[in-house]
């Protein structure tokens, strides 16, 4: 008998609800010409396309297509289907603490980048983070998120470029949390929904503003120009450790944005 993967034991999708809502979404909404995804830090869908996340379903072919009615946190996408933008990519709604690869990040100010495969007039961008006491082994619902966005920008119908960046300040968190980014299109009824699985690290017991003790130098493999690296891979280059933010090959640590110093 084949053993069930650990994450499969704690992730159960409500398939009938997903299929029914998906059929209504396809029949009842006109698809927008705009598409895009959060490129940095890498969204759950993008890590599926890159192969870091496994068993993701059809989203591996189109991480830019997480489109559903706008209006979040109001009635837009159903609870339990936030990650899949209403159930059209139901694998993304599987939720437990071990299901998804996590992007290491700290609380504080960071640059978030969207990659748009088709540009369209924009109403606004807004971001949400799960509550400090959220349950990572339960479906993503509105009750799991702080419903006041920690960042919001109104574009008032402006047409964006291919890359859109936001300087956001993430509230204090430790451990595993989920960030939801939403791109509201201006001249359709739709928006694009992306979740990011973040590892904020442990609470090390230091006081705010107190520097943490230096970590011992990790023993990561030396960077090689011919090696393909995926998001989360770590290397050593010229005596310093780096972590890849996304897929890369031949881009030298310390000179390319894809590498984050550790």
Q: Mind listing the pLDDT tens digit for each residue in 94-113?
A: 999 999 999 999 999 999 99
pLDDT at 9 (0 to 100): 52
Instruction: Walk me through the domains of the chain, giving residue ranges and CATH numbers.
Output: 8-199 (2.70.50.50), 228-261 (no CATH)
Full-model pTM = 0.68
Q: What is the C-alpha separation between 14 and 119, in angstroms, rounded? A: 33
Any residues with CB less than 8 A from the CB of 247 and at least 6 apart, and which? Answer: 50, 228, 229, 230, 231
In the 8-state DSSP scheme, what is residue 135?
-
Indicate the pLDDT class of residue 182, thresholds 50, 70 and 90. very high
In the 8-state DSSP scheme, what is residue 90?
G
pLDDT at 171 (0 to 100): 96
Indicate the pLDDT class of residue 17, thresholds 50, 70 and 90. very low
Q: Does pLDDT of 8 surpass 60? A: no
Q: How many CB atoms lie within 10 A of CB 57?
A: 14
Q: What is the C-alpha separation between 227 and 248, in angstroms, rounded? A: 9
pLDDT at 127 (0 to 100): 98
Average of pLDDT values for 237-258?
86
Q: Mind listing the pLDDT tens digit for each residue in 34-84?
A: 589 999 999 999 999 999 999 999 999 999 999 999 999 998 999 999 999
Q: Mind listing the pLDDT tens digit for each residue in 161-173?
A: 999 999 999 999 9
pLDDT at 183 (0 to 100): 96
Q: What is the C-alpha separation between 24 and 230, in angstroms, rounded? A: 36
Contact assessment for residue 151 and residue 127, using Cβ atoms and an 8 Å cutoff: yes
More confidently predicted of 101 and 202: 101
pLDDT at 22 (0 to 100): 43
- What's the distance, Cα to Cα, between the start and end of the chain in Å? 42
Q: What is the C-alpha separation between 81 and 33, in angstroms, rounded? A: 22
* Selection from 126-130, 222-226, 248-252 with the highest mean pLDDT: 126-130
Average of pLDDT values for 203-207?
53
């Amino acid at each position: 008998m084949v053993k069930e993967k650990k994450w499969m034991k704690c992730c159960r999708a409500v398939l009938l609800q997903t299929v029914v809502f998906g059929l209504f979404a396809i029949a009842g909404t006109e698809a927008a010409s705009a598409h895009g995804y959060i490129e940095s830090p890498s969204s759950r869908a993008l890590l599926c396309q890159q192969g870091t996340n496994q068993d993701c379903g059809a989203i591996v072919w189109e991480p830019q297509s997480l489109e559903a009615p706008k209006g979040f946190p109001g009635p837009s996408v159903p609870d339990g289907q936030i990650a899949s933008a209403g159930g059209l990519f139901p694998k993304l709604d599987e939720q437990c603490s071990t299901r998804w690869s996590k992007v290491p990040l700290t609380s504080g100010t960071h640059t978030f980048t969207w990659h748009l495969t088709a540009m369209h007039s924009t109403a606004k961008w807004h971001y949400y983070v799960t509550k400090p006491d959220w349950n990572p082994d339960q479906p993503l619902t509105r009750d799991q998120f702080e419903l006041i966005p920690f960042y919001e920008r109104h574009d008032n119908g402006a047409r964006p470029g291919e890359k859109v960046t936001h300087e956001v300040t993430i509230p204090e968190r430790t451990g595993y949390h989920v960030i939801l980014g939403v791109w509201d299109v201006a001249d359709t009824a739709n928006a694009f929904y992306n979740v990011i699985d973040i590892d904020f690290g442990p609470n090390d017991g230091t006081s705010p503003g107190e520097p943490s003790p230096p970590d011992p130098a990790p023993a990561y493999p030396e960077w090689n120009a011919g090696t393909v690296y995926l998001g989360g891979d770590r290397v050593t280059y010229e005596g310093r450790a780096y972590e890849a933010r996304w897929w890369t090959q031949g881009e030298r640590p310390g000179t390319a944005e894809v590498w984050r110093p550790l």
